[in-house]
Amino acid sequence: MANQYFVFVDRPEIGTSFVIENESAAHHIFKVMRSSNGDQLQLVYNDGKVGIAEVEDDLNHIVKHVYNVVNSTELPISVTIAVGFPKGDKLDFITEKSTELGASEIWAAPFKWSVAKWDSKKLEKKQEKLEKIALGAAEQSRRQYIPQISLFDNLPAMTEKFSMFDQVLIAYEESAKGGERSAFGQCLAQLEFGQKFLIIFGPEGGISADEIKHFENLGAIKIGLGPRIMRAETAPLYALSAISTYFDLLK
């Protein structure tokens, strides 16, 4: 099976030859993977369109688009994962695995109980790193879109975007401890294909009562994720796995 790459150009007509001009894509294809004349590549073009191309001139990075791929690998709903800044490199892990599991966007912001404190310079570097991680994970998992990464320097900058979504959920530890087990499934059952869905997860210290109240005042719904209490980097993956199972296999 051909390796997949994002090339950031519009999908050409079948039989059209073109140069892969994106430096990162060209380096990966021709230097790292050593693709040569006659090799086939699965390319993701703009707007998520996919096709098979054949290398015509590996030295000049010229390929020919030979046929279109119509199968979709994307979830039928748009899922955004929002997390409080976690410690260390946990956001790297969350980004990689959330991309593989189908997230459309990955957000992070400073919560009241976030241990990590990132200034604007560190946020900029972190953004660049996470975008590279998301690209690699999207190629590996044969996604048609690369999740958009948004790092907010304050929580209000994130919450003001709640109105973009059809549903906003809060994975709340106290709801899980209290035995709440139905709200998540009920919310999934109400979603229709094409809708936008945001689910919020706290940092290692959890989500404060004031933050929960603020989220709820903006229309968010508290949910539990079962009887087990998960780490900050595990809960988003649990939720995405459940969403993927529901829409990919059961819906």
pLDDT the model gives residue 18: 98
**Which amino acid type is present at position 29?**
I
Predicted confidence pLDDT, tens digits, the chain (251 residues): 788 999 999 999 999 999 999 999 999 999 999 999 999 999 999 989 999 999 999 999 999 999 999 889 999 999 999 999 999 999 999 999 999 999 999 999 999 999 888 888 899 999 999 999 999 999 999 999 999 999 999 999 999 999 999 999 999 877 666 666 788 989 999 899 999 999 999 999 899 999 999 999 999 999 988 888 899 999 999 999 999 999 988 76
78-250: CATH, from 3.30.1490.20, 3.40.1280.10, 3.10.20.30, 3.40.50.300:
3.40.1280.10
Q: Where in the chain is the domain with CATH 2.40.240.20?
A: 4-69
pLDDT the model gives residue 166: 96
pLDDT the model gives residue 229: 85
What is the reported pTM?
Answer: 0.92
pLDDT the model gives residue 226: 83
pLDDT the model gives residue 227: 84
What are 126-130's contacts with CB under 8 Å, separation 24+?
Answer: 126/91, 126/151, 127/151, 129/92, 130/91, 130/92, 130/95, 130/106
What's the CA gap between 92 and 108, in Å, rounded?
A: 11
pLDDT the model gives residue 117: 85
What's the CA gap between 196 and 204, in Å, rounded?
A: 26
Alpha helical stretches, state H, the chain: 23-26, 90-100, 120-140, 155-159, 173-177, 183-190, 209-217, 235-244
Q: Where in the chain is the domain with CATH 3.40.1280.10?
A: 78-250
pLDDT the model gives residue 44: 97
Query: What's the farthest any 2 CA atoms get from each other in the chain?
Result: 62
| Annotation: CATH topology of 4-69 | Ribosomal Protein L25; Chain P (2.40.240)
pLDDT the model gives residue 176: 65
Count Cβ neighbours within 10 Å for each residue of 72-88 and write b for 16 or more, e otherwise: ebebebbbbbbbbbbee
Residue 113 near residue 84 (C-beta atoms within 8 A): yes
